[in-house]
Amino acid sequence: MEISINPEEALPLVQQLVRGIQARIDDRVLRPGMRLPPIRNLAANHGISRFTVVEAYDRLVALGYLRSRRGSGFYVSERPSAAPEPAGAAAERAVDVVWLLRQAFDMPADGLRVGAGWLPPEWMDEDGLLRNLRALTRRADLNLTAYGSSLGYAPLREQLCIRLADLGIGAAAQQIVLTAGATQALDLIARHFIQPGDCVLVDDPGYWTLFGNLRLLGAQLVGVPRTADGPDVQALKQILTEHRPKVFFTHSVLHNPTAANLSSGTAHKLLKLADQHNLVIVEDDTYADFQPTPTPRLASLDQLERVIYVGSFSKTLSANLRVGFLAAHRDLAGSLTDMKLLAALPTPEFNERLVYQLLTEGHYRKYIERLQARLGEATAASVRTLERAGLALYAAPRGGMFLWARVPGVADTAPLASRAAREGIMLAPGNVFRPQMQPSPWMRFNVACTGDPRLAHFLEAVA
């Protein structure tokens, strides 16, 4: 078995051996059922230790390339071949929420994720994460084998009290529940309030992943039209009278997808209607740290009486850490904690400790300031790209990562998204941001991804 092993290469010997054997199996040089050389022989032939060969063989067993027979050795496994997907099947699929999620997560590395709801990895502070990760692993009180507490890591919840106070939201640590990102927080709230068939209010347009989850719970979604100042209060008044919903999920700051902010006047009217109709409001503030200049939050006006506040660090620090939180009045926070424990047990304390360290060691604030400035530059460039292609912006950008733009002469942008997918470009058509998937001439663009010439060429072609 001819495999190149180079002790001078930066790649560890074990990985070199694994890579070499994988290549031989993938190229069908080593076929299913063939026996690999004994550990002692392979080690002697390549001048490496038997421990290196053992570890490489064990890794290949775990990867499904080999199987071990006690007393006999290691043999090439029969690897099932996946049935090929019909050409164009993914691109021709109806553009729905799950289609868009698959496009975002499964697109090849060289794909262009213009419609994604997060920043590219190269925009994130990986160096800061690694530095704090190394510091955290040196702590004597670190426990990697135990569960965390029910509410979540107490020092982080106390730090969040300080951060919420800066927004004018008064909350005690017992009112804050740490979650696996904002997604789990929204899911817990939805499960607490919603029964199959219940009417639930959402922004129209609004957060499409939430819509998909609410549909799974059997909710009947009713969209509240969105304006540049927030929910359309007159339309909401009529909807409340007609449908008598229990809960309203909404964005106040850097609304997804329009990036508009709630005005003070609309906020007061909205809370007055909520009080009159006994409506619970869930305020999703996932993009809070992208906002250069703070604007009113419903939770700051209501002080968590009937508003539940949701936040997350997935967009700014790391999607992999999955650290989010919700803040509510004490009784509700306790009930949501019970649901969290029953559904998934405590959230990983190691992740919460890492986020706490990142927030308190002083680097996070400066990183966010740099990120806001970079987003501002990217937004200006994105506006030029879209306007040159003939698209019309919904409103002047006020920060964040999104632009909401209309394609003139197009009533439904879903076919454009399918066409773009065939060219390796993920677009977010307006229909997925609507509660009933109604056709829409709008599209959401991630300003961090619009600088690629492929997008400009595509937009010019379809214009």
Q: Which residue type sits at 196?
A: P
Work out the average pLDDT over 107-124.
85
Q: For position 253, what pLDDT does the model report?
A: 94
For 126, the token pair is 């990986």
Strands 220-227 vs 402-406: parallel, antiparallel or unpaired: unpaired
Q: For position 105, what pLDDT does the model report?
A: 67
Rounded CA gap, 170 and 151, in Å? Answer: 18
> Residue 41's CB: how many other CB atoms inside 10 A?
12
pLDDT (tens digit per residue) in 164-201: 999 999 999 999 999 999 999 999 999 999 999 999 99
> Residue 230's CB: how many other CB atoms inside 10 A?
26
For 2, the token pair is 């001819």
Say how many Å lie between the first and final Cα of the chain, rounded.
Answer: 57
Residues 6+ apart with CB under 8 A from 209: 97, 101, 117, 183
Confidence class of residue 310 from pLDDT cuts 50, 70 and 90? very high
CB-facing half-sphere around the CA of 266: CA atoms within 13 A: 22
Is 137 exposed, middle or buried (CB count within 10 Å of its CB: 0-12, 13-18, 19+)? exposed
Q: Which residue type sits at 19?
A: R
Work out the average pLDDT over 299-328.
95
Rounded CA gap, 152 and 330, in Å? Answer: 15
For 202, the token pair is 């959402």
Q: Residue 132: pLDDT above 80? A: yes
Q: Which of 434, 442, 452, 426 is nearest to 118 (CA)?
A: 426
pTM of the model: 0.80
In the DSSP assignment, the letter for residue 257 is: T
- What residue segments make up the domains of the chain, in order of their start? 13-76, 89-124+366-462, 126-363
CATH fold, domain 13-76, is Arc Repressor Mutant, subunit A (1.10.10)
| Same fold for the pair 13-76 and 89-124+366-462 | no
Confidence class of residue 422 from pLDDT cuts 50, 70 and 90? confident
pLDDT (tens digit per residue) in 208-252: 889 989 999 999 999 999 999 999 999 999 999 999 999 999 999
Query: Where does residue 71 fall: left (phi above 0), alpha (psi -120 to 50 degrees), or beta otherwise?
Result: left
pLDDT (tens digit per residue) in 98-115: 666 676 666 667 788 999
CATH fold, domain 126-363, is Aspartate Aminotransferase; domain 2 (3.40.640)
Rounded CA gap, 15 and 55, in Å? Answer: 9
CATH classification number, 89-124+366-462, choose in 3.40.50.1980, 3.55.10.10, 3.90.1150.10, 3.40.50.620: 3.90.1150.10
In the DSSP assignment, the letter for residue 99 is: H
Work out the average pLDDT over 260-277.
96
Q: Residue 144: pLDDT above 90? A: no
Helix (H, G, I), strand (E, B) or coil at 449: helix
Q: Which of 153, 177, 396, 3 is nearest to 404 (CA)?
A: 396
The more confidently predicted of residues 157 and 136 is: 157
Q: What φ, ψ does residue 460 adopt, rounded to 5°? A: -65, -35
Report the mean per-residue pLDDT for the chain.
90
Q: Which residue type sits at 152?
A: G
Q: Give residue for tokens 């619009």.
A: 450
